Structure 1
Amino acid sequence: MYLFIINPRSGGGSGQRTWQAVETLLKRRNIAYETLFTKSAAGAEEAVCGALSRHEAWEAAVVVGGDGTIHSVLGALQRMNVPLAVIPAGSGNDTARGFGIPLATGAALDAALTGRCTAADLLSGADGLTLTAVASGFDAQVAANVNASRYKRLCNAIGAGQLAYLFGIVHTLMTFKPCRVSVACDGREDVYETAWLVSVCNLPSYGGGLLICPQAKADDGLLDVCVVHGCSRWQLLRLFPTVFKGRHVTLPFVTMLRGRCVSVRFAEARHAIGDGESLGTGPLAVRCEPGALKVRFPQAALLALPAGSPCHASG
């Protein structure tokens, strides 16, 4: 039995359209499933726990939505020990990218039904669990501006969700001011006087494919940290094209760190996001929870996973 968790509003309505296609395929294949529709994070974890408690032999909980929808049910899936499967229908879909899950609906459904499982780490903090990244500073402000914009809805409507983030970068660049930040990684503290952003990553990308920490692995028990500091607006603007290929990591104003516990304290209030969802404007403290979540991924992606990944054949 599969539980399909659907956010019809995800991706500017893509969630509803994607679910209609998925439902047709499920009926054609005579697959046993139940559905749970959610439109916001509020109450999603409790609703998922309630649905999952009705049966014991769940194959997977399949989220039809984006990274934010996945974020809202992580606690429930961890608590109930049910694998996560994803049929991407959001603006960014970085969870799908991180696990090699196809963006095409039919192929993603195949992965959900016939794929393998890997044990993935989670980021744990005061605001709950995160799967992709906890970001603060400039890029979190970009996300806040994008989520409040009209251009996000327009870009989603034409199937170009990633474009909204490019608009958001330009929009935010005009007003954002860097400030001092303290970053402590496994107890070692470093201070950066003019920091633009600090990203703590579990997967390589967020923001619709921006490879902030290209070396990040979801099953290594470590968090990867990217700090951008000491650069001008023009240098920051020139940095962003390099992020799509992960080439920014060699720049002199980019510092990469790695550890199990990370805290971030900006001298001024700065937005923070986890899986693209707001975490407020206060200091951050996150730790890695190794192997805390089971995730289904395509068998074809097995070769792309690092050697020694804790995988097993799915039911």
Structure 2
Amino acid sequence: MTSEITLFVNPAAGRGRGAAAAQPAARALRDAGFTVRTVVGADADDALSRARHAVRGGTGALIAVGGDGMVSLALQAVAGTPVPLGVVAVGTGNDFARATGLPVRDPGAAGRLVAEALKAGHQRALDLGRVGERWFGSVLASGFDSRVNDRGNRMRRPTGRLKYDLALLVELAALRTVPYTITLDAGEPFEVAATLVAVGNGPSYGGGMRICARAALDDGLLDVTVVGECSRRELLRVFPRVYKGTHLGHPAVTTHRVRSVTLDAPGVTGYADGEPLGPLPLTVRAVPEAVRLLTDGPGTAGAVPPTG
């Protein structure tokens, strides 16, 4: 087993928790006998370039320290390689960590888990979603929720989470359905007027909203949730149910399980793991066992022997 591993750190994650979290995580790993190298990029492109360099150089693991955005960036470096991914989740949402049963906002515990997993060879093979060359672990969003992201990203004030809460209120006031054309696997395209369409490799986004509540990260399939025409009053009434996943039983909601899906709609941006992918149309594919996640046990997909 390679004893040198790489901490991939977003110092701004969770309003500064990323920088603070790196220290106890690194300490736990060093106490377990690992040599720890820290990578912090000047920006996202630079950080990803450095992470890919570490993976090509044979690092024993890439450990993402931050939130879902940092996990997403790390996936671009490790997906399809034998280098395992570790997660020290200290962001705002932490949907990937929650979906995989990893510690949240406890960097010491996360560091110890990674160390134990590396020594025991506990790696769970997980699926990923893929759009072109871009990988994602949780959910691809489009429609109402992506318009909220679009508006929030354009706003300079207020800052932080409040900005997106305000963007949500503005978009809610302008709520409208969008004419989608959807193609499931190799089937015939069909049209539907939808408030939003989400494609889940995992179950949740936005800090616990279980929009694709039945999605599993190791079944080789994507879960597609289509929310049809819905009034503002009805959307507000049903919205709290998304945190338990019970919205899937609402008459306006339909679901599909597929290996691939193509979404097309005018003026709609796709976001995966909270990061913009670009305008629709987009084709999403499930890639089975695309990443090895360091866990506290073999996981449902089985243990993978240590590399190195």
Is the shorter-chain TM-score for this pair beyond 0.5, marking a shared fold?
A: yes
Deviation at residue 178 of structure 1 after TM alignment = 1.6
**Offset at residue 67 of structure 1 (A):** 1.3
Corresponding residue of 1:277:
275
Distance in 2 of aligned mates of 1:179 and 1:52: 41
Give 1:42 shift: 1.4
The alignment partner of 1:112 has SS state of helix
Residues 28 and 82 of structure 1, relative CA distance in 2, 3 Å threshold: closer
- Extract unaligned runs of 5+ from structure 1: 156-162
Q: Which amino acid aligns with 2:150?
A: A
Note if 1:130 corresponds to 2:136. Answer: yes
Any idea what SS the aligned residue of 1:3 has? strand
Which digits, 9 at most, give the CA deviation of each residue in 1:224-271, with x for residues without a partner?
0000012111111222100000000010000101100100011x2012
Q: Normalization by structure 1: what TM-score?
A: 0.86
Higher mean Cα deviation, 255-264 or 104-113? 104-113
- Any residues of structure 2 matched to 1:1-315 within 5 Å, and which? 1-55=4-58, 58-103=59-104, 104-115=106-117, 116-126=122-132, 128-148=134-154, 150=157, 153=160, 155=161, 168-188=167-187, 189-193=189-193, 195-266=194-265, 268-299=266-297, 308-312=300-304
Q: Which amino acid aligns with 1:212?
A: I
The alpha-carbon deviation at position 280 of structure 1 amounts to 1.9
Cα distance change, pair 285–32 in 1 and its aligned pair in 2 (3 A): same
Structure 1's consecutive aligned runs of 4 or more residues displaced over 6 angstroms after TM superposition are none
Instruction: Name the SS for the 2:76 alignment partner.
Output: helix
Q: Give me the TM-score of the superposition, normalised by structure 2.
A: 0.88
> In 1, are the aligned partners of 2:29 and 2:112 still within 8 Å (CA)?
no
- The alpha carbon displacement at 1:279 in A equals 1.2
Rounded Cα–Cα distance in structure 2 between residues aligned with 1:53 and 1:139: 36
Deviation at 1:123, TM superposition (A): 1.0
Q: Secondary structure at the match of 2:278?
A: coil
Contact 2:270/2:277 (<8 A) preserved: yes
CA positional deviation for 1:89: 2.0
CA distance in 1, matches of 2:17, 2:97: 15
Aligned equivalents of 1:39 and 1:97: distance in 2? 28
Q: Which moved more, 1:124-133 or 1:205-214?
A: 124-133
Retained in 2: the 8 A contact 1:8–1:38?
no
Alignment deviations for residues 264-296 of structure 1 (CA, whole Å, 9 cap, x no partner): 011x20121011001122311111111111111
Tell me how far apart the structure 2 counterparts of residues 288 and 5 of structure 1 sit (CA, whole Å).
25
Q: Structure 1's 79 and 119: CA in aligned 2 closer, same or farther, altered over 3 A?
A: closer
Deviations, residues 11-63 of structure 1 (Å, cap 9, x unaligned): 222211212333444455553111111353213332212123334xx432100
- Where 1:289 maps in the other structure, the secondary structure is strand
Cα distance per residue 1:187-222 (max 9 Å; x no partner): 2333212x1111110111111010011111111100
SS in 1 for 2:195: strand
How many corresponding residue pairs?
297
Q: CA deviation at 1:127?
A: 5.0
Distance in 1 separating the partners of 2:87 and 2:166:
27
In structure 2, relative to structure 1, the CA distance for the partners of 1:87 and 1:167 (3 Å cut) is farther
Distance in 1 between residues matched to 2:35 and 2:216, nearest whole Å? 33
User: Aligned residue for 1:159?
Assistant: none
The residue identity in structure 2 corresponding to 1:111 is L
Q: Could you tell me how far apart the structure 2 residues matched to 1:275 and 1:17 are?
A: 23
Residues 100, 298 of structure 1: 8 Å contact kept: no
* Whole-angstrom CA distance in 1 between matches of 2:200 and 2:42: 26
Q: In 2, are the aligned partners of 1:7 and 1:16 still within 8 Å (CA)?
A: yes
Distance 2:88 2:293 in 1: 12
Q: Is this contact kept in 2: 1:185–1:261, CA < 8 A?
A: yes
**CA distance in 2 between partners of 1:254 and 1:240 (Å):** 12
Q: Which letter maps to 1:113?
A: A
State the AA in 1 paired with 2:65.
Answer: V
